[in-house]
Amino acid sequence: MIDIHTHSKLSHDGKFSIPEMVAEAENKGLRYYAITEHLDRDYRYFFRLRFCKQLNVDKYRREREAFLKDYVSENGMYVAFGIEAGHSKKSMRDTKRTLKGEKLDFVINSIHTIAGGEDPYTKVYYTRNKEKLDAYNKYLDAVYESLFVPYDYQVVGHIGYVIRYAPFEDISICTPEFHAKIDDILKEIVSQDKTIEINTRIRKEGYNQLPEDYILKRFKELGGTKVAYASDAHRPEEIAGKYDIGVEAAKKAGFEYWTVYKDRQPVKMEF
C-alpha cells in the first residue's frame, strides 16, 4: 500500500504527531507514506478563516529533519514529507515565498477557498452560491487557475472538493454542463505532466472518491498516466483506510500503477 496525503497535528485540523502517524503507517505495512501539512495562506483573506491556525513552516522543517535523522524503517517504507498548498490568487505570492528553498518530496496543489464564498466546508459557500451551476463553475474556474501557480507542484489535490459539502439532490460535478471545463482542466494537467490524486475522504452516499470515475476515465482518455492514492487521513486509523477503493477506481479508469514522488522526482509503484 501507499498513501500520499495525510496530516499530523502541525496542520490546524490534525491531532497526532509525526512519529505517531508514521508508526501506524509502518504498522500497516505501507511501502510509501507521505505527510503533507496544510499550507493555507489563502485563509488569511477571509474574515472568519483568518483566525485559523497557520502552519509554522520552521517548526515543520525542524520536526521532519529531526525525525528523518534517527528514522530507520523496519519494512523499507519510504517516508515522504510534502505540503498541501491551498491556492488563491490573493495568496499565491505569499505561498511562493513560503515554499522557496523548502526541501520537500512534493507539493499538492489544492483548492479549498473560492472568492465570494470562503471554504465550502464552512457552509457559507452554499448560502452565497445557491445555484449548482454557479457554485460548481466558480470552483472549476479556481481549479483551472490553480494549475498556473508560480511555484513548483507535482500533484493536483481532490478535484471535485466542492461536492463534499454540497446541499444539492444530485451533487455530481460530472453532469454534461461541466464537461467542457473539466476537459480544459484535464488537458492542462496532461500537458504539464502532473499527477492526479485519488482521494477517498468523502462521506456522501454513492461517492467513493474524488475525483469521480468520469473524471479519472476522461483523464486517461486525454493521455493522463499519473495517479496516486490519497487517504487525506487526519488520524492514524485513517491511513490507507480505503486503499482498495482507490485501487478499484484507478483500475476501472484504466490506470496500471501509482506515481509517487521522492525529492520531487516521479517514481512508479505497483498497486
Name, in order, each residue with C-beta under 8 angstroms of 104's C-beta and a sequence gap of 6 or more.
81, 82, 83, 264
Torsion of Cα atoms, 74 then 75 then 76 then 77, to 10°: -100
Q: Mark the segment that binds Zn ion (CB under 5 A) among 55-63, 122-130, 224-232, 235-243.
A: 224-232
Count the Cβ atoms, other than its own, within 10 Å of residue 218: 20
Q: Which is nearer to Zn ion, 42 or 63 (CB)?
A: 42
Closer to Zn ion at the Cβ: 162 or 216?
Answer: 162
- CA of residue 88 relative to chain centroid, distance: 15
Comparing CB distances to Zn ion, the nearer of 63 and 197 is 197
* 232 binds Zn ion, rule: CB under 5 A: yes
Does residue 110 bind Zn ion (CB under 5 A)? yes
Element (H, E) at 268: strand 265-269
Query: Three-class SS of residue 266?
Result: strand
Nearest to 189 by CA among 140, 150, 222: 222
**11 is a site residue for Zn ion (CB under 5 A):** no
- How many residues contact Zn ion, by CB under 5 A? 3
Q: Where are the alpha helices (DSSP H) in 75-120?
A: 92-99
Select from 103-111, 136-144, 221-229, 238-246 the region that touches Zn ion (CB under 5 A): 103-111
Q: State the distance between the two ends of the chain, measured CA to CA, in whole angstroms.
A: 7
Quick one: which segment of 47-55, 109-117, 122-130, 187-195 binds Zn ion (CB under 5 A)? Answer: 109-117
Q: For 194, which DSSP code?
A: P
Residue 197 Cβ, how far from Zn ion at the closest point, in Å?
10
The residue among 220 and 231 lying less far from Zn ion, judged by its C-beta, is 231
Which residue, 42 or 84, is less far from Zn ion as judged by CB?
84
**At its nearest, how many Å lie between Zn ion and the CB of residue 10?**
12
Which residues 71-100 are close enough to bind Zn ion by CB under 5 A?
84
Residues of this chain that bind Zn ion (CB under 5 A): 84, 110, 232
